[in-house]
Amino acid sequence: MTAQRIKKYAYRDRPLRRALEPLAYLAPFLAAIAVFTLYPVINVVLMSFKEGYQMLTGRFDQVGAANYAYVINDRYFINALQNTSIYVAVVVPLSTVLSILIANLLNRKVKGMAFFQTAYFMPMVTSVTAAGLAWKFMFSRDFGVINQILSWFGVGKINWLQAPEWSLWALIIYGVWSILPFTIILMLSGLQNIDETHYVAARVDGAKSARIFFRITVPMLAPTIGLVLTINTISTSKVFNEIFPLFNGRPGPSYNLYTVVYYIYDQFYIKWKFGRAAAAAMILFLIIFAITMLQQVIQRKWSH
Amino acid sequence: MKVEMRGLTKHFGSTVAVEDFTVTLEDGQLTSILGPSGCGKSTVLNLLAGIVPVTRGQILFDAEEVTGLPPELRGIGLVFQNYSLYPHMTVLGNISFPLEIKKVPRAQREERARNMAKLVHVDNLLHRKPRELSGGQQQRVAIARALVKNPKLLLLDEPLSNLDARLRLEMREEIRRIQQETQVTTVFVTHDQEEAMSISDKIVLMNAGHLQQEDEPQRLYNEPRNQFVADFLGTPPINHLPGQMKGGVFTMEGGQASFPFLRGTDAPEGRPLILAVRAESAHVPEQDEDGLFSAAVESIYAMGKEVLGYFGIGGHSFRCYLEGDMLPRPGTELPIAFRERGTFLFDKETGERLL
Ligand SMILES: Nc1ncnc2c1ncn2[C@@H]1O[C@H](COP(=O)(O)OP(=O)(O)OP(=O)(O)O)[C@@H](O)[C@H]1O
Ligand SMILES: [Mg+2]
């Protein structure tokens, strides 16, 4: 029997086996997904419709949309949506632009680059909380290095962490810093996929750095930029961890800095309103989902 | 444009890439730089382009020194092995990009790009992206992009090595045609001897950073200056028979055979020598002609119109073309004779040609 005939026998004569075999290999993985991802997700969906739900007893009053109604009328939730939107709208573009510029610098073969590379990747290897505490000192009104630097430019003392109108900006600055290294790594890998000869060709033709950057580097980096926008939009929409160390475990100096995930946390763990927390989580999920889809559509159009 | 390289030298740290390289390229000619991998061909090209700085030596374009001039001021067009087309631009965008850099008005640069596209026969593909083109078409676009600003010197670094065999033949004729139509002075880097032989006005053969010989293709083949040149050119490779001179007669190592030379030689007696014979310069003589030695057939390769015989002689393999109707069985002893043309004598140690 030739090899070809063996193959035919195995695959054509046993369609059922052909269909099920891969499934068998995947089974352990699929089971883990089902237990650790699928089940909780379904649970959240169900929970969001249960009014007066008690986590411990599993009891609830009735099924309905009351949790949603409460959440979208809650002043704190609206505030959380606003804060999160501003945070995403500033951090994502800012970190994208900065990471392209920094990755471009890091991509050069210059002596001493190793030092800068380490410096830029510091945030990745320090814990959010420890780094957050360090930033708390840097943001300090009277002794912070940030106000110190600003004072050289004639900017008066800013009460970053205590003044409600500044606290969101402190959070944004810290957010950009903490998201940058991962973003830079993605950009660097994108840059390294661009063949050196493209630059040589342009340089021989007399192109200056700015033109090379805008006409060659950025367009050739477009797929990476698209990926970064998507990933960072999703991750910044979930801003939460960054808040604790900066504001002593409160959502801003005067409870003004709720974010959507902070609101969910607050409803779930502090107020024990499990149904409202689930409803808020569903709303966040739908918003992120819609934005991501929109991004995909735009990017697809853009790249053709 | 006439290009002169004088004592051109390039070291990368302790690596000697090019050493004391002196070559002149005549205006309007196509010169191939040929040599094995790593011999410094690309480095010479990059030095001409100004992409890498020279360690020592001079480069002159039309008697004007350009050694320190940056690439963009040298008026060169460059074509890479992987074409390096910009994937996000159309064919038209790619070809006109060098003019865009020079701030040529749009209408004018598109007009020139179209003309270039016509020259290289891609004028029907102007609005495609590079990934929608075949390898040969990408190559044509890359050449058009290099030529669009009317460079005085066109540099091509192994432009055909990413193409399949048939396209390679087609494209090398195309490059020759384009070069002759535009009369642009051209340097063509390749490690393929056949490519260099068929396309060039002149071949510059390099080895390990050093110039070996510069000549017209046929002269390079017929009159190699040293053993490296003789070995590098020709398929099948030239035969080697080691031996030494004894009483004015070349005697093979181990004394299996000796042959008097047609041309007199004053090669020193007793020095180790290599007698190099091209496969087409050896033959099985007619009945009335005497062979120089006899050798046993090891194997026979019939390749279409030609039959190549592998012979064993004194532990060495010897390749020789046979007459078309002759298909001797392996093991047969046959006489072999040499023609004078295509037979050379080299000093084994220095590689220097003695005859
Ligand atoms: N940027 C560099 N840094 C260090 N060494 C280099 C550099 N470029 C080339 N070399 C060395 O110089 C020598 C010549 O290289 P070059 O690229 O000119 O060879 P080549 O003849 O073009 O080879 P190939 O046919 O493989 O392209 C090689 O030994 C190579 O390793
Ligand atoms: Mg090379």
Instruction: Calculate how far, in angstroms, residue B43's C-alpha sits from the geometric centre of ligand 1.
Output: 6
Fold observed for domain B239-347: OB fold (Dihydrolipoamide Acetyltransferase, E2P) (2.40.50)
Neighbours of A95 (CB within 10 A): 24
Q: List where CATH 3.40.50.300 sits in chain B.
A: 3-224
Ligand 1 closest atom vs CA B209: 14
pLDDT tens digits along A254-282? 899 999 999 999 999 999 999 999 999 99
What counts of helices (H) and strands (E) characterise chain A? 15, 2
Q: How confident is the model at residue A304 (pLDDT cuts 50, 70, 90)?
A: low
CB-closest option in A203, A211, A215 to B71: A203
pLDDT tens digits along B266-302? 777 888 989 899 998 888 887 666 667 778 888 888 8
Residues of chain B with pLDDT under 50: none
Cα B51 to the chain's mean position, in Å? 23
The listed CATH number (2.40.170.20, 1.10.3720.10, 3.40.50.1460, 3.40.50.300) that belongs to domain B3-224 = 3.40.50.300
**Which among B223, B146, B163 has a CA at the least distance from the CA of A205?**
B146
Q: List where CATH 2.40.50.140 sits in chain B.
A: 239-347
- The whole-angstrom separation of Cα A239 and Cα A171 is 10
Looking at residue A80, its pLDDT comes to: 95
Percent of chain A past pLDDT 70, that is, above it, reads 93
What domains are defined for chain A?
16-63 (no CATH), 68-303 (1.10.3720.10)
Q: Count the residues in chain A.
A: 304
CB-closest option in B51, B72, B84 to A206: B72
Contacts of residue B65, defined as CB under 8 A and 6 or more positions apart, other chains included, come to B58, B59
Looking at residue A132, its pLDDT comes to: 83
Q: How confident is the model at residue A1 (pLDDT cuts 50, 70, 90)?
A: very low
How close B202 comes to chain A (CA, Å)?
26
pLDDT tens digits along A44-78? 999 999 988 888 888 888 888 999 999 999 999 99
Q: How confident is the model at residue A183 (pLDDT cuts 50, 70, 90)?
A: very high
Does A303 have pLDDT greater than 80? Answer: no
Instruction: Calculate how far, in angstroms, residue B143's C-alpha sits from the geometric centre of ligand 2.
Output: 18
pLDDT tens digits along A85-139? 999 999 999 999 999 999 998 887 767 777 777 777 777 777 777 888 889 899 9
Mean pLDDT of all residues belonging to chain A: 88
